[in-house]
């Protein structure tokens, strides 16, 4: 009696849900024929058929889920690989020290690294090498201290891409003992581009662990 009830329930379930499975095999056809010729084993045959269909359905669903999981993992790995961001400061010394002035234009090497995600910034050269095509946000702040009122103040720097000046904040005067200037730009850059900050002739920057001079770049979104 319990077997008959179970078979009936399976029949109701199969009538309400469509199983996305391949067409019946020769083995299943032979079972159906057995049900017709041998009523004693009909219940067993029906039960085996339904179990086989359920196993096939769930195996197919599991395979689809595994494929979707693998695709999602690949997408996440690509996102992680594409991340690029750096933020650096001129120095991290306890006492104020100045960089420059020099007789020639000189690339600034920012030594203190807050973050260098993707390792695109080289602290030895001061150059950020663009890892992939995309739109980047670049920010630069320069600060200098003339030492005493009346001295010449020359806080300036030139943001460059492949040696070409993009923007250059500066503050030159004799009215201030100290001052700063900042810029923020968004640029479309190509993989391999070199981004750096140049210190023009006659300019000098001063910094300590308060980090008045910073250089930052963030990949907003890739275009490759």
Residues 43 and 102 in one domain: no
Cα 88 from Cα 158, distance rounded (Å): 16
> pLDDT tens per residue, the chain (224 residues)?
444 444 444 444 444 444 444 455 555 555 555 555 555 566 677 777 777 777 777 777 778 888 888 888 776 766 665 689 999 999 999 999 999 899 999 999 999 999 999 999 999 999 999 999 999 999 999 999 887 776 888 889 999 999 999 998 877 777 777 888 999 999 999 999 999 999 999 999 999 999 999 999 999 999 87
Same domain, 45 and 62: yes
Q: Are residues 198 and 120 in the same domain?
A: yes
Which of 20, 52, 80 represents a domain boundary (last residue)? 80
Residue 34 sits in the same domain as residue 98: no
**Residues 137 and 188 placed together within one structural domain of the fold:** yes
**Do residue 115 and residue 178 come from a single domain?**
yes
Domain termination site, one of 80, 114, 141: 80
155 and 185 co-located in one domain: yes
pLDDT value for 82:
67
Residue 49's domain comprises 2-80
**Co-location of 95 and 184 in the same domain:** yes
pLDDT of residue 117: 94
CA distance 176 to 13: 85
Structure tokens at 224: 């490759």
Q: How far is CA 212 from CA 13, 89, 132, 150, in A?
A: 71, 8, 29, 22
Which CATH number does the domain housing residue 108 bear?
2.60.120.40
Q: Of 80, 114, 137, which residue sits at a domain end?
A: 80
Give the distance, in angstroms, between the CA of residue 218 and the centroid of all CA atoms in the same chain.
10
Same domain, 125 and 179: yes
Angstrom CA distances, 98 to 62, 138, 178, stand at: 64, 23, 12
- Identify whether residues 89 and 175 lie together within a single domain: yes
Q: What pLDDT, on the 0 to 100 scale, is given for residue 186?
A: 97
Number of domains in the chain: 2
Q: What is the pTM of this model?
A: 0.65
> In this structure, are 64 and 48 located in the same domain?
yes
- Let me know whether 88 and 76 are in one domain: no
């Amino acid at each position: 009696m319990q077997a008959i009830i179970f078979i009936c329930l399976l029949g109701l379930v199969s009538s309400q849900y469509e199983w996305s499975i391949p067409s019946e095999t020769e083995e299943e056809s032979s079972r159906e024929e057995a049900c017709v010729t041998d009523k004693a084993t009909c219940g067993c045959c029906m039960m085996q058929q339904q179990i086989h269909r359920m196993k096939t359905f769930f195996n197919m669903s599991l395979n689809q889920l595994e494929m979707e999981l693998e695709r999602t993992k690949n997408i996440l790995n690509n996102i992680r690989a594409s991340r690029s961001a750096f933020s650096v400061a001129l120095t991290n010394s306890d006492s104020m020290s100045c960089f420059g002035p020099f007789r020639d234009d000189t690339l600034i090497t920012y030594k203190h690294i807050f973050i260098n995600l993707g390792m695109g910034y080289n602290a030895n050269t001061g150059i950020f090498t663009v890892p992939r095509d995309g739109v980047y946000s670049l920010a630069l702040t320069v600060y200098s201290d003339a030492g005493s009122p009346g001295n010449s103040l020359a806080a300036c720097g030139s943001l460059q891409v492949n040696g070409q000046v993009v923007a250059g904040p500066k503050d030159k005067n004799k009215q201030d003992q100290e001052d700063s200037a900042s810029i923020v730009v968004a640029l479309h850059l190509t993989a391999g581009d070199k981004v750096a900050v140049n210190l023009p002739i006659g300019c000098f920057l001063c910094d300590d662990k308060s980090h008045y001079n910073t250089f930052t770049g963030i990949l907003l979104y890739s275009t490759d």
